[in-house]
Amino acid sequence: MLIIALKNASRRTGLFISLYISQVVGVSVVNVFLIFLFVEPSKQTSIPEHFRGYQFTGPLRPAKVTPMRNILPSIEVPDYAENGIPISEREAKQRPGAIHVHTPEEIEAMRVVCRYGREVLDLAGSMVRVGITTEEIDAAVHQACMERNSYPSPLNYNYFPKSCCTSVNEVICHGIPDERPLEDGDIVNIDITLYHGGFHGDLNATYFVGNVDEESRRLVKVTRECLDKAIAACKPGTLYRDIGGIISSHANAQGFQVVKSYCGHGIGRLFHTTPNVPHYSRNKAVGMMKPGHIFTIEPMINMGTWRDQLWPDDWTAVTKDGKRSAQFEETLLVTEDGVEILTAGSGN
């Protein structure tokens, strides 16, 4: 009864209690030593109920996720903002057709939203440091979107609960921002998409947290190289299926593997649309690049196996072997003689 009472007190007050019991054989003597350590309840971390019994592939664990953030009434929102269902996307999938060729007016609108996306990602990236939580980064991203009269596209997209994706260490993509502080040696990908003027702009990058080991640094460097090599091949006449071979060739030569479950995609008035742009070789993507096509390339490169699995939150994709993964993404426009990186930063 004593132990039960102490456990209950611990849950209510935030007391962590260590109980030591010694018993002399044949003598009814019990020595009880209690060590009390007070920890504020708000600082305690525990596995969410729906994760109980789940076999994690790596060391990362989920933390508390706060409620969805509110949107200013003046912000134009996509069709899924209220009920979580991207109706327009689902309807488009039922009537597939040619890849959309954007008009000059649409291209200009995409330049605007992609520029805003770059500004927000640069802001988020500048916040990365030991001790900050991805929840804090998400809050800053949300506020930056509001300041640009833009909707954070991930928010409530198929019920995603936050305004950006933050993927730490073995998380491949779609990590949910939470209250876990970033630790020295982590890598974290921040994925930003804005909806502005009726169009989406999408990009992401992977950042170092403190002192990162050399192999993780090499993984991130090679991942960026994979994207850059793929972008260099984009021009009228390039087959979408050929992009995966370019990425796989470089990644495999460096001892890494390419995730196959997630791919680049067309983007514009819809968050995700045709074409599909797989990042692995010998894929069956259809279509040829033409001037006016707009799409993302976003390779996810793993230290170990390319295989992935999903956390019980139905969003967080992690490596099957728990080893690290990195990703970079840009939104691209095929021009008459090449490609324009709509989300380009000063380093591109």
Q: What is the pLDDT of residues 244-263, one digit of tens each?
A: 999 999 999 999 999 999 99
Give the pLDDT confidence score for residue 162 in this predicted structure.
99
Report the CATH number that the domain containing residue 187 is assigned in CATH: 3.90.230.10
Strands (E), the chain: 15-23, 30-38, 151-152, 165-168, 171-173, 187-196, 199-208, 257-258, 264-266, 273-277, 294-297, 300-302, 308-310, 317-319, 325-327, 330-334, 339-341
| Domain contains 183 | yes
pLDDT single digits (tens) 38-82: 333 333 457 888 999 999 999 999 999 999 999 999 999 999 999
Q: Is 255 helix (H, G, I), strand (E, B) or coil?
A: coil
Nearest to 58 by CA among 163, 136, 175, 161: 175
pLDDT single digits (tens) 155-210: 999 999 999 999 999 999 999 999 999 999 999 999 999 999 999 999 999 999 99
Task: Determine if residue 272 is labeled as part of a ligand binding site.
Answer: yes
| Domain contains 3 | no
What total number of domains does the chain contain?
A: 1
| Domain contains 272 | yes
| Domain contains 51 | no
Task: Determine if residue 174 is labeled as part of a ligand binding site.
Answer: yes
Task: Give Cβ neighbours of residue 297 (< 8 Å, ≥ 6 apart).
Answer: 227, 230, 231, 234, 243, 264, 277, 279, 329, 330, 332
**For residue 312, is the peptide bond before it cis, meaning its omega torsion is within 30 degrees of 0?**
no
| Domain contains 325 | yes
Quote the pTM value.
0.87
Give the pLDDT confidence score for residue 345 in this predicted structure.
84
Q: Is 302 helix (H, G, I), strand (E, B) or coil?
A: strand
pLDDT range class, residue 347, cuts 50, 70, 90:
low
Q: Which amino acid is at 348?
A: N
Give the pLDDT confidence score for residue 45 in this predicted structure.
52
Task: Determine if residue 298 is labeled as part of a ligand binding site.
Answer: yes
Q: Are 168 and 186 in contact (CB under 8 A)?
A: yes
Q: Are 285 and 244 in contact (CB under 8 A)?
A: yes
User: Which residue has better confidence, 331 or 11?
Assistant: 331
| Domain contains 5 | no
Share of the chain above pLDDT 90, in %: 84
Task: Determine if residue 313 is labeled as part of a ligand binding site.
Answer: no
| Counts of helices then strands in the chain (DSSP H, E) | 6, 17
Q: How far is CA 189 from the centre of its chain?
A: 6
Give the pLDDT confidence score for residue 10 in this predicted structure.
39
The alpha helices in 182-296, defined as continuous H runs, are: 214-232, 240-253
Task: Determine if residue 329 is labeled as part of a ligand binding site.
Answer: yes
| Domain contains 64 | no
Q: What is the C-alpha to C-alpha distance for residues 104 and 110, in angstroms, rounded to an integer? A: 10
User: Which residue has better confidence, 323 or 11?
Assistant: 323
| Domain contains 300 | yes
Provide the domain limits for residue 314. Answer: 88-341
